[in-house]
Chain A
């Protein structure tokens, strides 16, 4: 290689590297900014008290509980359906038009904007099925939204299980269902769980789908059933920043809420990565 060429390649590659690191820097700026501003707000009472003084004081307990309800509700719906669907796609269906169609629809569902899910949830669950603004309506809407994530991870985890294991099981006279239940699923399960964990992060952060299906602007009591409205962390952050009664004075509350959201996402991502790493090691050992 000519020296000139080598030099220009060196410059280009370093420039590319610089731009890539810039993205990492942006990420750390966002995280660092929220950590620094939010850290002093976080205290036990912030996490365990009701909002007070027109949302400029007190805590965010109802929003935390509300988001918890929505996470549990949507996972209860989406996880079984998603895993069963993934099993059927990978273990039963052959590559034909039907499988292609379902895969296309699943990918399309994943690409639909969250606000459209909000509109749909309002039209079907809130108005048509008369659930009203409720945990049930919100959970189903969010559940549909994360369904593609769970299906995809399930499919991929099942695909990673070696065919020889299946064939070994069949050779021993086990039925298909038995093989899936006793051989394939136990191996794939840890990886399937990562799909669930990522959905938790997605559900706890989404605002647009819950705007018109469940989220309450201000509701200083805890929910007592699935037909209750709840506050939710992301919507609470939105309210605090844009339409609170006193935006300047509720700023610290907003930083605190943003930090709680970020911490949830961080923890969830770390768990998912840890599971994935140990799973990969396990597969290699086989």
Chain B
């Protein structure tokens, strides 16, 4: 009896242990599920809010406007109808706030009960007008032409250059600038961190005295442990003013500042993993090389580095992954201007920084909210791909 109880107890314990071990996999699956559930909605959303309509005169030859065109028209970048496929007439804008310019309160009624009729009348009399107003005020017998709500297309999302998520009437969700901003900052960070990281890994793993090694290791761990806000703070009060002074810029918050801070943050990852790889080179290989008369330096270049190649590549990939996903430090030092960068001395805006800066203000479940989750999906896919790649590249520790 007692024995049986113990058997059952063992089984129960094993069950608990098993379920604990599935938590990480479950978490990854849930992350995928929730990101996609919230984020994919962006492609079924419309850039013009569904509660509002855009309408033109019934004889206007324009039947459809893209998000960019709507944005251009309401920014006054596009002034004539022929620029969007219509006649050569100047565009007259109308939004609901301007109704007072056309009709007085009496004509609209005390509860705005005549408002739909008046809007209809206004559009009928103005062949070159484009009107933006709530659905609510669309008259039952509307004589104008209501433009269709376009869904946000995949190419519009990925290749669009303007990110104005809150502009009215058409919010612009082009993430190309954000993607380029992220790549730009990451590229800069990697260009700085890779050579320095590799050289340091070689020095600590191969050249330095073992006692020096135990001096370096904890310090590099400490560098990895410093919170990213502290890096951001340091970057903001030291690196940003330094860049501003050195290059004589109006603002020091630039891609370069982001790259430098990210490089410092990616270094511990690169050094630790590359050094591990270098140290797993079998002693027999090293000694054989030295016995053949090769110098220490030749042994490093010709034997040790080629042997630990895959580990070093893994270190690079993980370093890049760290840099791409880093949020707070980048948010604090890069200036966050959503424009396509042409040099390292301009402000840029990265994907993680955009999410961190805007999610708080995006209404829950709205198009902007979904767009930010879609950005999260992109980040997730990139880092997931990198990590999975590393799983296959990185050799098992052989001891």
Q: What residues make up the interface of A, taking CB atoms closer than 8 Å to B?
A: 1, 5-6, 8-9, 12-13, 15-17, 19-20, 22-24, 26-27, 30, 33-34, 80-82, 84-85, 87-89, 92-93, 101-102, 104-120, 122-124, 127-128, 144, 147-148, 151, 175-177, 198, 201-202, 204-208, 211-212, 234-235, 237-238, 241-242, 254, 258, 261-262, 265-266, 268-269, 273
Q: Which 4 A-B pairs have the closest CB atoms?
A: A113-B325, A205-B227, A84-B20, A88-B17
Residue pair B379, A116 in contact (C-beta under 8 Å): yes
Which residues from chain A contact B227 at a C-beta distance below 8 Å?
A: 204-207, 234, 261, 265
A93 to B364, CA, bound (A): 43
Which of A6, A120, A258 has the most B CB atoms < 10 Å from its CB? A120
A92 to B387, CA, bound (A): 26
Q: A88-B21, A102-B21 are in contact. Are A108 and B384 (CB under 8 A)?
A: yes
Residue pair A9, B14 in contact (C-beta under 8 Å): no
Residue pair B233, A241 in contact (C-beta under 8 Å): yes
Which residues from chain B contact A114 at a C-beta distance below 8 Å?
A: 228, 325, 327
Contact partner of A105 (CB less than 8 A), chosen from B24, B238, B318, is B24
Which of B6, B296, B376 has the most A CB atoms < 10 Å from its CB? B376
Residue pair B22, A241 in contact (C-beta under 8 Å): no
Residue pair B34, A237 in contact (C-beta under 8 Å): no
Q: A23-B200, A102-B21 are in contact. Are A107 and B376 (CB under 8 A)?
A: no
Residue pair A102, B24 in contact (C-beta under 8 Å): yes
B120-128, B139-147, B213-221, B339-347 - the one binding chain A: B213-221
CB distance from B146 to the nearest CB of A (A): 33
Residue pair A105, B200 in contact (C-beta under 8 Å): no
B52-60, B172-180, B203-211 - the one binding chain A: B203-211
A81 to B22, CA, bound (A): 10
Contact residues, B224-282 vs A (CB, 8 A): 225-234, 236-238, 264, 267, 271
Task: Assign chain B's interface to a size class.
Answer: 35 or more
Residue pair B383, A113 in contact (C-beta under 8 Å): yes
SS class of chain A's interface: helix, strand, loop or mixed? helix
0 or 1 for each of B382-394: is its CB under 8 Å from A? (1 = yes): 0110111011000
B321: Cβ under 8 A from any A Cβ: yes
B352: Cβ under 8 A from any A Cβ: yes
Residue pair B199, A16 in contact (C-beta under 8 Å): yes
A211 to B355, CA, bound (A): 10
Residue pair A119, B372 in contact (C-beta under 8 Å): yes
Using CB atoms, name the residue of chain A closest to B383: A111
Residue pair B379, A115 in contact (C-beta under 8 Å): yes
- 17 of the cross-chain contacts (CB-CB < 8 Å) are A13-B203, A102-B21, A107-B390, A111-B386, A112-B28, A116-B383, A117-B31, A120-B31, A123-B38, A176-B10, A205-B230, A207-B228, A211-B360, A212-B359, A237-B233, A242-B236, A258-B229
Residue pair B359, A119 in contact (C-beta under 8 Å): yes
0 or 1 for each of B307-331: is its CB under 8 Å from A? (1 = yes): 0000000000010010011111001
Contact partner of A84 (CB less than 8 A), chosen from B16, B37, B219, B296, is B16
Residue pair B27, A234 in contact (C-beta under 8 Å): no
Q: A20-B200, A241-B236 are in contact. Are A27 and B24 (CB under 8 A)?
A: no
B196: Cβ under 8 A from any A Cβ: yes
CB distance from B52 to the nearest CB of A (A): 25
Contact partner of B364 (CB less than 8 A), chosen from A110, A112, A127, A262, is A127
Contact partner of B373 (CB less than 8 A), chosen from A88, A110, A119, A207, is A119
Contact partner of B28 (CB less than 8 A), chosen from A22, A85, A105, is A105
Contact partner of B225 (CB less than 8 A), chosen from A34, A93, A201, A234, is A201
- Known pairs A1-B295, A92-B17 / 10 extra A-B pairs, C-beta < 8 Å: A19-B199, A20-B200, A27-B219, A101-B25, A111-B321, A115-B352, A123-B35, A147-B24, A212-B360, A234-B230
A19 to B199, CA, bound (A): 7
